[in-house]
Chains A and B, each alone.
Chain A
Amino acid sequence: MTSKIKSFDELKSVQERLKAGRDPKKPCITICVGTGCLAYGTRKLVDNFREELAKRDLTGKIDFRTSGCHGFCERGPMVVISPEKIFYQRVGLADAGEIIDKTVLNGEIIDRLLYVDPQTGEKYVHEDDVPFYKKQTRLVFGQNSKVDPESMDDYLAIGGYSALGKALTGMKPEEIIQEVIKANLRGRGGGGFPAGLKWDETRKAKGEPKYVICNADEGDPGAYMDRSLLEGNPHLVLEGMIIGAYAIGSSQGYIYVRNEYPLAVKNIHIAMRQAREAGLLGENILGSGFNFDLKINRGGGAFVCGESSALFASLEGRAGEPRAKYIHATHKGLYDKPTNLNNVETWGNVPFIIEKGADWYAGIGTEGSKGTKIFSLVGKINNTGLVEVPMGTTLRKIVFEIGGGIPGGKKFKAIQTGGPSGGCIPEAHIDLPVDFDELTKIGSMMGSGGMIVMDENNCMVDVAKYFTNFLVNESCGKCVPCREGIRRMRDILVDIADGKGREGDVELLQKMAQGIIDGALCALGNSAPNPVMSTIRYFRDEYEAHIKEKRCPAGVCRALITYSIDPEKCTGCTLCAKVCPTKAAGGVKKKAHTIDPAKCTKCGACRESCKFDSIIVR
């Protein structure tokens, strides 16, 4: 595709032509090459498929597509065979030939590659039936498995850019904004601010030029949905941004993306070039007279740069320090011009709202939070992956029905949402319907959608220490409450974890937290105490155990635990003695071993290697 598309009608005919050129019955092999699956070595599997197809002279006769993340990263490498949508998981790198011969050519199912639900023992052949997928509502993320991120044709063939065509030719900018307001699309990047209202403010603000920006900084250290959306379906995000720019009256946009996401950077670059060539980006888009172009800027790896004013500073080539918020970015943002910043997933929702209408969209979700949300469900969970559900879905459904529960028969302890600004939610709230307001009510927040599951072996003081330490390192240092306050909170947490906690430390932490919340300049500082506050609120007994009894109930905090061996369980296999770096563990072969506490550095190597669960940590 190189010739420019000059009108909505022409766009429609291009889409029709592409669709007609694709025989829905023609077999297609799709392999996920998202970051998670690539880490399994999937690139080699792709090469093997190409080779095996060529060997059989089937190149071109059978469609072969590589796609972005499908969400079920736990089960990669994964192959989906259309039209039946047969789902193979944990595919071996040498399985390509067999899959082609048996399944693609002869319709035979290869039993060992099918997904078996570990809870029920049930086996599934088709992707759509797998409970992990079936119980989701995959609106924004659903297209990922249908397109090759490097192919605009793929995106056009599933109707891509129709929303843009509709917006540019049939709707006034104000109408688009009204539609987004009516849909009550709320920002997916953390705050949940209504996108339509922000667009409206920016449109009405005085000053030229106006900028629209996509926030792809994704600083939450436990989330990867923005990355997967940009990597897997860049045209969706572009389409959303172009529509937004038209509504706001902007001709220049930026995508601020982490330098650590090279694949996202590459795919968005390709998508932009294709869109320009097709006349969907640049001058006179779809013959409408509307001009808009985009630049990509790679971030330097600072969490605070996800914050709007710090992001602008970074885009201008300066250190990313936030400024006070008495002036709105909608009036004075990047280069002091009216600026509209939205998150990747927020932009990704826009085409659906325009295409299907605000009423349809508002039919999904809860009273105050509409649509779906993508969560990255990770940690101590059986089905690690990206999960998209309607707002208001309960934590229980997400963790146990979609996530498949906790591995190793362990007990669920807590789920952390909202990243470093969020909080830990205990089991008592497992039936909470997840939306912006409900999460805030119980002391956590939506954040970007990280969901980290923790079991009985995770210590809540340690988790609070982890996030606080992260924020100490990421604080930009501009204001005292945050720079000094968080550091002091961290020191107190370290003391508690080291067994040096004192009576009154919990109260002191709470007092300091209030000071930081009141005094910090930006939301990094304002929300920094959340992980500490929420763990104190729900797991105060664990703090007390550390402080008063000098005991870490979960067996994590090193200063408070000792390693020993259960003589009843130990078989004397000698493995622990072999891995122990200090020769603390040892004994006579086939007899129960022991650990010398004076030599033990509590490195944990023996516990992870013992196959008989004989190492006791208390």
Chain B
Amino acid sequence: MEEKVIEIVQRYSGDKSYLVPILQDVQREFNYLPKDALFSVSAHLSVPISRVYEVVTFYKAFSLKPKGRNQLSLCMGTACHVRGAELIARNVEDFLGIKEGDTTADLEYSFETVGCLGACALGPVLVVNGEYHGHMNIAKSTKILKKLGKKVATDDEQD
């Protein structure tokens, strides 16, 4: 982990003003921000760990918890909201048994809501592992979740 962090810090020539992008890159590498990685960033950038922690907890993009294998993002931008995205959010939350912003205990699913994705014509939009699903509704979101569940199950069987 240490080497990876050093490599990322060097990418930005150790410039402290790049703390946010450095943390973004670290998060991309590990899929979240592990505690040890934060200490490494702090040491190699010479930024106090309290500052690192302040920045990490300030910005919505950072996560101190690992993300699930399946990542679901529902657009809750204004356009999607007025087309009923909230009912879909509730459906996904009920189905997975977690709240928006959380990950299931088995680390299979993360669910988050985001602002406009730039695809308002297709709103409401649900992004499942990077793939856009437009004109989302309650029934369609249930179907997608059920299908994901199956895929996860067969993946496990192969393991």
Q: How far is the CA of A266 from the CA of B1 in the complex (A)?
A: 27
A414 to chain B: closest CB distance in Å?
Answer: 10
Contact A605 B54 (CB under 8 A): no
Contact B116 A39 (CB under 8 A): no
B28 (CB) vs chain A CBs: closest residue: A259
* Residue B11 interfacial (CB < 8 Å): no
Query: Among B2-10, B64-72, B74-82, B148-156, which stretch is in contact with chain A?
Result: B74-82
* Residue A515 interfacial (CB < 8 Å): no
Contact A259 B84 (CB under 8 A): no
B85 (CB) vs chain A CBs: closest residue: A466
Q: How far is the CA of A450 from the CA of B134 in the complex (A)?
A: 20
* Residue B87 interfacial (CB < 8 Å): yes
Instruction: For A260, list chain B residues within 8 Å (CB).
Output: 61, 114-115
Which A593-607 residues sit within 8 Å CB-CB of chain B? 603-605
Which A55-84 residues sit within 8 Å CB-CB of chain B? 73-74, 76
Instruction: For A315, list chain B residues within 8 Å (CB).
Output: 17
Instruction: For B26, list chain A residues within 8 Å (CB).
Output: none
Contact A302 B77 (CB under 8 A): no
- Contact A219-B115, Cβ < 8 Å, known A297-B21, A603-B90, A604-B84: yes
Q: Is the interface of B mostly helix, strand, loop or mixed?
A: helix
Instruction: For A458, list chain B residues within 8 Å (CB).
Output: 82
B115 (CB) vs chain A CBs: closest residue: A221
Instruction: For A453, list chain B residues within 8 Å (CB).
Output: 82
Instruction: For A319, list chain B residues within 8 Å (CB).
Output: 54-55, 58-59
B72 to chain A: closest CB distance in Å?
Answer: 16
Per-residue CB proximity of B82-120 to A under 8 Å, as 1/0? 111001001100100000000000000000001111111
- Contact A74-B121, Cβ < 8 Å, known A300-B60, A301-B60, A609-B139: yes
Instruction: For B115, list chain A residues within 8 Å (CB).
Output: 219-222, 260
Contact A608 B139 (CB under 8 A): yes
Quick one: which of B58, B77, B82 contacts A380, CB cutoff 8 A? B82
A549 to chain B: closest CB distance in Å?
Answer: 23
Q: How far is the CA of A608 from the CA of B139 in the complex (A)?
A: 8
A458 (CB) vs chain B CBs: closest residue: B82
Contact A603 B87 (CB under 8 A): yes
Contact A317 B121 (CB under 8 A): no
Contact B61 A300 (CB under 8 A): yes
Instruction: For A454, list chain B residues within 8 Å (CB).
Output: 82
A124 to chain B: closest CB distance in Å?
Answer: 19
Contact B139 A317 (CB under 8 A): no
Quick one: which of A73, A221, A314 contacts B76, CB cutoff 8 A? A221
B58 (CB) vs chain A CBs: closest residue: A319
Contact A223 B116 (CB under 8 A): yes
The interface size of chain A toward B, counting residues with CB under 8 Å, comes to: 56
A222 to chain B: closest CB distance in Å?
Answer: 3
Which A415-463 residues sit within 8 Å CB-CB of chain B? 416, 419, 450, 452-454, 458, 463
A254 (CB) vs chain B CBs: closest residue: B17
Instruction: For B24, list chain A residues within 8 Å (CB).
Output: 259, 298, 300
Most B CB within 10 A of own CB, among A36, A76, A302? A36
- Contact A605-B118, Cβ < 8 Å, known A298-B24, A301-B59: no
* Residue A282 interfacial (CB < 8 Å): no
Q: How far is the CA of A579 from the CA of B139 in the complex (A)?
A: 7
Q: How far is the CA of A227 from the CA of B117 in the complex (A)?
A: 10
* Residue A385 interfacial (CB < 8 Å): yes
Most B CB within 10 A of own CB, among A39, A259, A301, A376? A39
Contact B118 A228 (CB under 8 A): yes
B119 (CB) vs chain A CBs: closest residue: A39
Chain B residues within 8 Å of A, Cβ to Cβ:
16-21, 23-24, 47, 51, 54-55, 58-62, 76-79, 81-84, 87, 90-91, 94, 114-123, 125, 132, 134, 137-139, 142
12 A-B interface contacts by CB (under 8 A): A224-B120, A297-B18, A300-B61, A302-B58, A318-B19, A319-B55, A319-B58, A320-B58, A416-B78, A452-B78, A458-B82, A603-B90
- For the A-B complex with A76-B121, A224-B120, A453-B82 known, give 19 more contacts whose Cβ atoms are closer than 8 Å: A35-B118, A39-B132, A74-B121, A222-B78, A222-B115, A298-B24, A300-B58, A300-B62, A302-B59, A316-B17, A317-B16, A318-B51, A379-B120, A452-B79, A458-B82, A463-B82, A603-B90, A603-B138, A605-B139
